[in-house]
Amino acid sequence: MKHVLIVDDAATVRHYHRQVLEAAGYRVTDAANGLEGLEKALLHAPDLVLADVNMPRMDGYSLLAALRAEPALAATPVIIITTEALARHERQAAEHGANLCLLKPVAPEALSMYADLLTGGQA
């Protein structure tokens, strides 16, 4: 079973993404900020990371840079998810090495589809 790490400071967003991805067959863990997300990723390497942009302690771009700097996590697919102007964040996400940048709220079908594409499926 593929493992997805959700990193977002909003509990409701973490809960929503967890429900969608667990229903699609993924094992899910979550973190309330980038620093906690990095710690969890280092302990149990995920197959995919969903990261919010604006978070306390470490934002999504800093988390992404830290993941890319870790040899064991450098190739882990990362989806940046934001509520802000998508064009600017798409550019920044790509510059920082994200695989994809999505605008909140993400439709359940889209979230599970992108997770499948980036992880090769839930198996």
Task: Tell me the whole-structure pTM to 2 decimals.
Answer: 0.94
CATH number of 3-119: 3.40.50.2300
Residue-wise pLDDT for 76-119, tens only, equals 999 999 887 667 778 888 888 899 999 888 999 999 999 999 99
Domain ranges for the chain, please list them: 3-119
- Mean pLDDT, the chain, integer: 92
DSSP assignment of 76-89 equals: --EEEEESS-HHHH
